[in-house]
Chains A and B, each alone.
Chain A
Amino acid sequence: MRTISVVLLLSLFIPIALAETPEERGLAIAREADHRDQGWGDFSASMTMILRNAQGDESHRQLRVRNLEVEGDGDKTLTIFDEPLDVKGTALLTYSHKTGPDDQWLYLPSLARVKRISSRNKSGPFMGSEFAYEDISSDEVEKYTYRYLRDEVYEGMDCFVMERYPVDPNSGYSRQVVWIDQAEYRPQQVVYYDRKDALLKTLRFRDYRQYLDQYWRADLFLMENHQTGKSTELHWSDQQFRQGLTDRDFDQNSLRRAR
């Protein structure tokens, strides 16, 4: 009797599970990944970028990043540029939003001037690298629509593979294919397709480390541009959580002080 009721119960649920569309499954995976990465509060880190052109010539970028988690909206980010040396002291303040354009202000130390800038150039290269602004801005569920594709083993990990389509018409991409590991819901690889749906770039995440027993951050991002042969390595260091940063560390007054 008991067995029968279990079977009956299962039979009630299975059709619902089967009825889940690839779009619903993709959204559910994105929500779960987002849910697991909530509550980190604030985050700060240093970043070194190594830019390589097709000939293998290298140039370097050095910057510091501070993030503040904002409940119900996108994160606040303060980015301070240390190298190249001619832009040392320049700082960028971003209030990202789940929907609609982000608010951005740039501080130029040589003129002591704060400039409001258009966030529409999200498809543009970040500091001449292979990362676009949108690749490194805060990842919000609402910024894409999703479609689950398949399960696949990637680098020895069981992964979900899904496509996501940017909601913002100013995005430089028609779609992205994302590999997310099933154990911890961490992005492992993203393949980007340009507006003409041609293969553009591949981003790989390496050396994940867990902080505060919950939050996973990769130490290394590798971005490869298949159309130009250029690549960018992004190395993270000094990653720190919950340093007690507040809204006041992310306003125009702190933007002017940042160096």
Chain B
Amino acid sequence: MARVNATWFLVVMLGWGNLAPAQGQWSGQLASEARLFADSPAHPGQGAGSLSLVLQPEYYRSWDEGRQSFLFAPFLRLDSRDPERSHGDIRELSWIRASRDWELRLGIRKVFWGVTESQHLVDILNQTDLVENPDGEDKLGQPMVNLALVREWGTLDLFLLPGFRERTFPGIEGRLRPALVVDTDQAVYESSREERRIDAALRWSHYIGPWDLGLSHFHGTSREPRLLPGVNSGGQPVLVPHYDVIHQTGLALQRIAGDWLWKLELIRRSGQDDTFTAAVGGFEYTLVGLRESVVDLGLLLEYSFDDRKDTAPNPFGNDLFLGSRWVFNDVDGTEILAGLFLDLDHHGRLYNLEASRRIGNAWRLSAELRVWQAFPITDPLHAFQADDHLLVELARYF
């Protein structure tokens, strides 16, 4: 169905595109990535590492004095180890028409809501492309009709979301997966229309002096599935994703005060087992020009709470995130983010280190190191303990 939608939008877009003067431009990146795991695999079939190639071109064109624009951004990854991780997607295929007090945005798009760093609770429109990275920050393109009303009192965004995208999961040969493989072919939907259900959302956002506010409501198929035990066609035990129809209200709040950024995200979700509340909040404090240098050091602290506690399908029941962000402000744009996730109930720890720098004008080298320690078997992160890894990526931009 997603493919049908994509084709339909493509036809509409090309129709519009023909009316536009030719001043479009291609850009993008081609990257190679190596993932090296410290320990031998916990499950048969998994490898010690993987290599992959990523192509992410982008075509952009604007006309009508910038009031109309078209964006096309396909994505392709080829992975040496996991056929599930070798995948393609259309991240963006959209047309935007902007007017004085409204904007109409049609097509496949990526929309981000939220303010915190350690997890993204409020952000819900786009499905997570989990095979990309276990941090869940990569998203699949979502077909949508989005009308934004731009007024004195803020922006009101109305969304219709036809075509549900299933979450991607690593396959049997992939690392960073639970002991049982998630069998995406058996996905179960609460809605009788399954992935053809049209979801809806609205969001009001505004800024008042030092405050940024966002209040949102989503009604539709949950992007986050419940994973329930099942068997595959070969009789092997697997996990089956169940996609419930939910209501989710979200609040994102941020206040800036000098070098301090105070952040809060809060959600209330019903329709997926018992109604629950989850929150994440904290601060980022920036030490500008550390010791008379040009280096900025950001100190981050965020606390996550989920009133489902240990029954929550995510690992953020009662957790603390401590982080430091080093921005070197040099010619090569060097940045380092070092973080520690601490499970306050069971003392599990996730160490996360991300670093990157530019090489010349068109290359960027990045690395990620992740280490999981002391997560009990009941924690969703326990499954990753054999998957401590170093990821190195070299990207060529064009």
Contacts A51-B331, A116-B254, A128-B333; A252 near B155 (Cβ below 8 A):
yes
Q: Which of A2-10, A16-24, A118-126, A145-153 contacts B (4 or more CB under 8 A)?
A: A118-126
B331 lies within 8 A of A86 (CB): no
Any chain A CB within 8 A of the CB of B23?
A: no
Q: Which of A51, A83, A128, A248 contacts B100 (CB 8 A)?
A: A248
A124 lies within 8 A of B294 (CB): yes
Residues of A34-67 contacting chain B, CB below 8 A: 51, 53, 59-60
Q: Which of B29, B260, B331 contacts A128 (CB 8 A)?
A: B331
Contacts A88-B27, A121-B296; A257 near B333 (Cβ below 8 A):
no
B333 lies within 8 A of A84 (CB): yes
Residues of A114-161 contacting chain B, CB below 8 A: 114, 116, 118, 120-121, 123-125, 128
Nearest neighbor of A52 in chain B, beta-carbon distance: B331
Any chain A CB within 8 A of the CB of B8?
A: no
Residues of B93-121 contacting chain A, CB below 8 A: 96, 98, 100-101, 103, 109-112, 114-115
Q: Which of B69, B98, B137 contacts A111 (CB 8 A)?
A: B137
Any chain B CB within 8 A of the CB of A237?
A: no
A205 to B139, CA, bound (A): 46
Residues of B within 8 A of A53 (CB): 331
Residues of A within 8 A of B360 (CB): 59
Nearest neighbor of A85 in chain B, beta-carbon distance: B397
Residues of A within 8 A of B258 (CB): 101, 118, 120
Q: Which of A103, A118, A170, A257 contacts B96 (CB 8 A)?
A: A257
Any chain B CB within 8 A of the CB of A226?
A: no
CB distance from A69 to the nearest CB of B (A): 19
B361 lies within 8 A of A83 (CB): yes
A246 to B205, CA, bound (A): 20
A112 lies within 8 A of B361 (CB): no
Residues of B within 8 A of A252 (CB): 155, 205, 207
Residues of B within 8 A of A116 (CB): 115, 207, 212, 254, 256, 261
Residues of A within 8 A of B27 (CB): 85, 88-89
Contacts A60-B361, A112-B110, A128-B329; A120 near B286 (Cβ below 8 A):
yes
The SS class assigned to the B binding surface is strand
Contacts A116-B212, A120-B288, A253-B98; A259 near B60 (Cβ below 8 A):
yes
A254 to B212, CA, bound (A): 16
CB distance from A91 to the nearest CB of B (A): 13
A103 to B296, CA, bound (A): 19
A7 to B120, CA, bound (A): 77
Any chain B CB within 8 A of the CB of A167?
A: no
A92 to B207, CA, bound (A): 16
A249 to B100, CA, bound (A): 9
A170 lies within 8 A of B288 (CB): yes
Write out, one digit per residue, whether chain B residues 253-289 have a CB within 8 A of any chain A CB (1) or not (0). 0101011110000000000000000000000001011
A111 to B136, CA, bound (A): 11
Q: Which of B100, B110, B286 contacts A121 (CB 8 A)?
A: B286
B331 lies within 8 A of A251 (CB): no
Nearest neighbor of B96 in chain A, beta-carbon distance: A257
B254 lies within 8 A of A253 (CB): no
CB distance from B67 to the nearest CB of A (A): 10
Leading 9 A-B pairs by shortest Cβ distance = A85-B397, A128-B331, A112-B110, A113-B112, A112-B112, A86-B364, A121-B288, A125-B329, A84-B361
Known: A116-B212, A128-B332. 12 other contacts (CB 8 A): A86-B358, A86-B397, A87-B333, A103-B207, A111-B112, A112-B112, A113-B114, A120-B286, A120-B288, A123-B289, A248-B98, A253-B148
Interface of A toward B, CB cutoff 8 Å: 51, 53, 59-60, 83-89, 101, 103, 111-114, 116, 118, 120-121, 123-125, 128, 170, 172, 246, 248-249, 251-254, 257, 259
19 A/B residue pairs, CB under 8 Å, sorted by A: A84-B361, A85-B29, A86-B358, A86-B363, A86-B397, A101-B258, A103-B207, A111-B112, A113-B114, A116-B261, A120-B288, A121-B296, A253-B150, A254-B98, A257-B66, A257-B69, A257-B103, A259-B60, A259-B71
